[in-house]
């Protein structure tokens, strides 16, 4: 792996579905989107955003990210998958909006 690839991977992507966007756009989409309401007090139950690191039994990495997003969108619906950055280990942080 080339140094340039390592540095680009370390920066990570923020995405809504397969579209690369800014972190501000992802956060606004997640927390200020009337189409995706967050749960309210007193129980703070679903619907909400939940983090995942796998799809179909496969860990999500940068090299299979687009395949993972496509598979997760088929299961949870288009617009319900976002990537909010990287974990400390360098893997993508994938969030799913779920009403369950």
What is the tens place of the pLDDT at every residue in 31-53?
999 999 888 767 766 678 999 99
Q: Name the residue with higher pLDDT: 93 or 6.
A: 93
DSSP 44-59: --SSEEEEESEETTEE
Flag whether pLDDT at 98 surpasses 60: yes
**Contact between 79 and 98 (Cβ < 8 Å):** no
pTM of model > 0.85: no
Flag whether pLDDT at 15 surpasses 90: yes
Q: Please state, in angstroms and rounded to a whole number, the distance separating the CA atoms of residues 10 and 31.
A: 25
The domains of the chain are located at 3-98
pLDDT of residue 48: 86
Q: State the average pLDDT over residues 56-85.
A: 93
């Amino acid at each position: 792996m080339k140094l340039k690839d390592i540095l680009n991977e370390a920066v990570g992507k923020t995405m809504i579905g397969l579209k690369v966007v800014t972190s501000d756009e992802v956060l606004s989409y997640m927390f200020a989107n009337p189409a995706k309401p967050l749960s309210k007090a007193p129980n703070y139950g679903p619907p909400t955003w939940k983090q995942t690191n796998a799809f179909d039994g496969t860990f999500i990495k940068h090299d299979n990210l687009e395949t993972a997003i496509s598979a997760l969108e088929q299961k949870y619906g288009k617009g319900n998958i976002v990537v909010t950055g990287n974990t400390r280990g360098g893997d993508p942080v994938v969030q799913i909006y779920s009403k369950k």
